[in-house]
Amino acid sequence: MASSSSSSGIMRYHVFPSFHGPDVRKGFLSHLHNHFASKGITTFNDEKIDRGQTIGPELVQAIRESRVSIVLLSKKYASSSWCLDELLEILKCKEAQGQIVMTIFYDVDPSDVKKQRGEFGSAFEKTCQGKTEELKQRWSKALAHVATIAGEHSLNWANEAEMIQKIATDVLNKLNLTPSRDFDGKVGLEAHLAKLNSLLCLESDEVKMIGIWGPAGIGKSTIARALDNQLSSSFQLKCFMGNLKGSLKSRMGVDEHDSKLWLQNQLLSKILNQENMKIRHLGAIKERLHDQRVLIILDDVDDLKELEVLAEELSWFGFGSRIIVTTEDKKILEAHGIKDIYHVDFLSMEEALEILCLSAFKQSSVPDGFEEVANKVANLCGKLPLGLCVVGSSLRGQSKHVWELQLSRIEASLDGGIEDILKVGYDRLLKNDQSLFLHIACVFNHAVVDNVISVLSDSNLDVGNGLNTLADKSLMHISTDDHIVMHHLLQQLGRQIVHEQSDEPGKRQFLTEAEEICDVLTTETGTGSVIGISFDTSNIGEVSVGKGAFEGMRNLRFLTIYSRLFGGEGTLQIPEDLEYLPRLRLLDWIHYPRKSLPLRFQPTRLVKLRMRHSNLEKLWGGIQSLPNLKIIDLMYSRELKEIPNLSKSTNLEDLRLDYCSSLVELPSSIKNLQKLKILNVDYCSMLQVIPSNINLASLERLDMIGCSRLRTFPDISSNIEVLNLRDTDIEDVPPSVAGCLSRLDHLNICSRSLKRLTHVPLFITNLVLKNSVIETIPDCVIGLTRLEWLCVERCTKLESIPGLPPSLSILEADDCVSLKRVCFSFHNPTKRLSFRNCFKLDEEARRGIIQKSIYDYVCLPGKKIPEEFTHKATGRSITIPLAPGTLSASSRFKVCLLIFPNKEGGYEGISCSIRSKEGVKVQSCKLPYHDLSFRSKHLFIVHGDLFPQPNNYYEVDVTMSEITFEFNHKYIGDKIIECGVQIMTEEAEQQEIGQL
């Protein structure tokens, strides 16, 4: 196993620490390990290894399987031949595989290490007694080398805890593991993660399964998601299976075996990222994953069978795999043989008060005068985080008297559990806000805010202000991408409130339980009370209903039918002669089974029609009056042959027909859609006819990617800002159209059909001609006065770029294998120039590219660092002597790296660390991202600021006599074979521009 993991390049540890145990193990090192664990940094632990005279194969392998080695140099470090041999192996890995090496000088002077003098030197000489002169010299050179690697000095820090924090931050930055900020401010979370990392024992090759156990609302899912966020970068294959509760309950019409197959399919689809997988036997997980190192999190398990189906045995997964299970029931974990169980206990009083105060007072401590009442509220909320947030938010801004009035209500909820505690927040809402809460809980959780406002615009609910109220009271929040998000316990509370409206499902306001919905539809017992149905068909099998299924639900406004999980095969079959479908505001039906909507359906009130993956061939016949309709989304309806007459859908804003591969034409009636903003017909591969000579006043974006039969340039709006025509059969831009597109900002016309370009809209800023067969950049492009980004990647016949617009900021010409000549007809600095794998560039073109003044980077084939880089060195680091007066606070640098051919560059920035002679950090940054996979040696040239900008708030040292640059890369650090640096004074930059 050891050899196989080593040869496959597995990096099992983030950090390997090399240290002298008696000096640091019980103090500094233990604190450093704990802090690393809390940050998700996996550290090799040698406590179970017997130390002999030489380091054994386990340690050698651990060093080789670590991404970073930290050499912790203390006064007695050199007293151990073991430590010195570790150091030799670490530097060998640094040289051979580009391992990152960091140093910590603990109570020792770096110069004493370098020259082996003082107490450090005495220890070294004693260790060398009886050893060969050759070994002594190897150790001596290693110490001299490692002493020059800039690191932290304990003597420079007054506070050891702050130094440890700084070291952890530096490690995270080098690993590119800076955690998401989604979990910032979560009280107590860091302590949970530290304890769980100890249980997970990530340095072990064993397959481990651990449980996270605790009551509802305690924060198990939050902890699991934070773990997922923290650990996922260490696993190539990972999967978070959320909210598994009830996932294996009997599916109507499906036997238990098929239900288990279905659940296994969910896991494999997610972890292998293959949406349409089909498995045929229950050995599939073991078959696919037995030799893979995986991270699997199974959240909210409530049935032992779920565990048996998804992770029955450790042997199902490869070495080093970790399976994490959260549940409210400890017996499930025990019955499955899980011994490592982490109990998420109730918060301490201090933590409970902090959460309550953050929610109620926007501060972490209790205000004067509220101490007693706040303590009582925290106790009565059961010290549950979600309950504290909701109750605290509901009391925000209230007087102490109001807090005291609420105590009795909260106290009365204790016997009912967390739902009743959360209900305190609901009960304090105004009637309309309560109604909006129920709408979200039953239908609109995870919906886009603007869509919800539109769909509910005919109600008496003030949706905009209502959403703000609910968010202020922690009853939901709005995500960064403008989706409504309600915690599943609050959603459960809302649905429970609706459930209590009547013992008969058909008489409730909303229907959300699949079995009840099936019963109501098959028995036709729905009434006018029902206004919304949210029907998850994942577990129903196939259910057929009669023609009167919706007859009694005259007030139904929202109908959503969907499958929650990958591969859910349940379908609702409706008869062709369905007599009645109510006047809906929202119709969202995934996998709609019939060829058209029911004949008697009247869509006049529809605001949103979403029917993805449907069997529709058409929606309806004739002309329908649709004054409210704003969105039509029929994506992946591959049988769709026609779009109805939309002349009376004058408020339509968004029409999405992506992947409707049987659609041949768009109707002329779209000329009436003067409010249409987005039209997407991507990959409508049969589409040939689109209306022309019309002008849609509001159209901002038109996407026609992959419409391979489309030969006519679209002429439907002069107001388009984004036009995507990639992989169409269009050969040129007609002058009549080009002159009209005065607002067009982005034009993508990359296609092998594009043979020439005689006209281009005048004011575009982004132009993509990738994959075309043009041979030269035409005058119409050179003359563009606002063009900022030009992409001609993989234009394999392109031989010449005779000129470029002076406004150009980015030129991407990668893989233009015939390109010889490039002329820059302007002197303005550009942002980015990329000529990756352009092997035929002539010397004049290469010189012009290299000398161009840039802000980000230049990339082109090359075999040596250009002469103008006066400071050069082999490898990934270079030290430059500085004459007095060389630097100023605004100094910049120019770097050229020579990179060896490689296939795995990836979109990942090269890290650049700049330090002074004394090891003080001057600057640490990521050089701009670029695909660094090359078929030959390449030059990568970058400009940057020597000091962080702006620096007017602190002093910078411009008197340094020496400066060291060190470069690294997550994947190809060992491919950086030479580097050159220029320090660009203001005068030098002006001179460079002048030379052009």
Q: Which amino acid is it at 901?
A: P
Nearest CA-CA partner of 611 in 591, 628, 597, 593: 591
State the CB neighbour count (10 A cutoff) for residue 344: 20
Structure tokens at 505: 């499902």
What pairs with residue 941 in β-bridges?
Answer: 858, 896
Cα distances (angstroms) measured from residue 924 to each of 166, 288, 949: 13, 42, 12
Catalytic residue set: 86
Contact between 897 and 979 under an 8 Å Cβ cutoff? The reply is yes
How far is 633 from 656, CA to CA, in rounded Å? 5
**First and final CA of the chain: distance in angstroms?**
58
- Helix, strand, or coil (residue 414): helix
Structure tokens at 533: 């149905």
Contact between 683 and 702 under an 8 Å Cβ cutoff? The reply is no
Cβ partners under 8 Å of residue 659, min gap 6: 635, 636, 637, 638, 682, 683, 684
Nearest CA-CA partner of 650 in 696, 594, 703, 599: 696
Contact between 375 and 349 under an 8 Å Cβ cutoff? The reply is yes
> SS3 for 855-905, per residue?
EEEEEEECCCCCCCCCEEEECCEEEEECCCCCCCCCCEEEEEEEECCECCC
- The H or E element spanning position 947 is none
Phi then psi for 478, rounded to 5 degrees?
A: -105, 125
- Helix, strand, or coil (residue 314): helix
State the CB neighbour count (10 A cutoff) for residue 924: 15
Cβ partners under 8 Å of residue 558, min gap 6: 443, 455, 531, 532, 533, 534, 584, 585, 586
How far is 784 from 786, CA to CA, in rounded Å? 6
- Helix, strand, or coil (residue 387): helix
Cβ partners under 8 Å of residue 205, min gap 6: 1, 5, 12, 319, 320
Strands (E), 374-519: 477-478, 484-485, 510-511
- Helix, strand, or coil (residue 22): helix
Q: Given strand 877-881, what is the order of strands in its sheet? A: 877-881, 962-968, 911-916, 921-926
How far is 54 from 57, CA to CA, in rounded Å? 10
Q: 100-105 and 340-343: which strand pairing?
A: unpaired
C-alpha 783, offset from chain centre: 39
- Helix, strand, or coil (residue 906): coil
